[in-house]
Amino acid sequence: MLVEESRELVVVLDDAGRVVAASRRARESLEGLREGAPLPEGLLEANGHSALEVPYEVAGRRERLVYLGAAGAHSAYEELRAGFTAAVSHELRTPLARLLALLETATLPGEDVEGLVTRARAEVEAIRGLIDDVLFLSELETGRAVVALSITPVLPVLRDLVAELEESAARAGVRLRADGDEEAALALRPRMLRVVAGNLAENAIRYAGPGATCTLTVAREDGAVVLTARDDGIGVAESDLPRLFERFYRADRVRASRGTGLGLAIVKHVVGSAGGTVEAASERGAGLTVRCVFPG
């Protein structure tokens, strides 16, 4: 089933070179590919493809999983995978180190064990949040649909999010508001709309600074639907703006925060998958504005 639904050109061969299984895309793209038949000679190298083979054994049978990509794509993929793995490892290392320190301190005589356990629980939640975001981003990148057949009114979702995040915003000294066109709607699953708006709001809660106000607005502009998060907080340096939507990127001043560094990357991926674009603008001391423009 996994091979069948893969979006890539994937072929499974037995030890005699016969096709055991193939993805739908492989069957549609590779002429002469038939399950149970030998793999046509030269097929793997045809049309500029390069093959990455993974041998394995199942129930005593030796088989090969063959992934076909454009020439040079594998090295780029390996570089991307290595970088992503290193970034995840780095982001997990900090809360794990804090967790270990808390647990070791709790074994010392005279320590506030209950308080240390509470802080340790917060570190576990931070780790779980990172893992959840990584898995969710992975789910998006497998091509799970974000566009829905039904239409989702935007403003009610924004108002619900503001109410849900009111307590955490108050703790950070940030005020949240929702405003805009009552009639604006998107062909987006409600969950995906909440993911986009929620990550924008939580970004402001974490980084805008005490006393800031963040307003989520929706408007219809020139046939498009625009979701905007605008705050009047401390803003972002111009040099940081091009990297705001990178995975795990956090400006120097917020590296000690408990955010995963994936929120805006997820926003960009969801909006892009729905056919839209994202842009950010800021001036130091004048707040941050993030605009998500969806096709109408």
Residues 55 and 193 both lie in one domain: no
Report strand pairing: 175-180 vs 213-221. parallel
Q: Assess contact for 21 and 12: CB atoms under 8 A.
A: yes
CA-nearest of 241, 242, 230 to 286 is 230
Cβ partners under 8 Å of residue 58, min gap 6? none
Q: What is the dihedral of CA 208, 213, 218, 220, to 10 degrees?
A: -100
| Domain match, 29 and 83 both | no
Q: Are residues 108 and 213 in the same domain?
A: no
Is the pLDDT higher at 202 or at 284?
A: 202
Quote the DSSP letter at residue 283.
-
Average pLDDT, integer, range 231-235: 91
What's the CATH code of the domain at 178? 3.30.565.10
Across the chain, mean pLDDT equals: 77
| Predicted confidence (pLDDT) per residue in 88-127, tens digit | 565 567 678 888 888 889 888 988 989 888 888 887 876 7
Shared domain check, 179 and 111: no
Domain count, the chain: 3
pLDDT of residue 137: 61
Whichever domain contains 132, its CATH number is: 1.10.287.130
Domain span at residue 90? 74-141
| Tens of pLDDT, residues 206-229 | 889 999 999 999 999 988 999 999
Q: Is 246 helix (H, G, I), strand (E, B) or coil?
A: coil
Above pLDDT 70, what percent of the chain? 72
- Residue 287 amino acid letter: G
- How far is residue 30's CA from residue 17's CA, in Å, rounded to a whole number? 16
pLDDT in tens, 21-80: 888 777 777 777 778 888 777 666 555 555 677 787 766 778 887 877 654 444 444 544
User: Crossing angle for the helix pair 263-273 and 190-207, nearest 10 degrees?
Assistant: 150
Rounded to whole angstroms, how far apart are CA atoms 29 and 68?
11
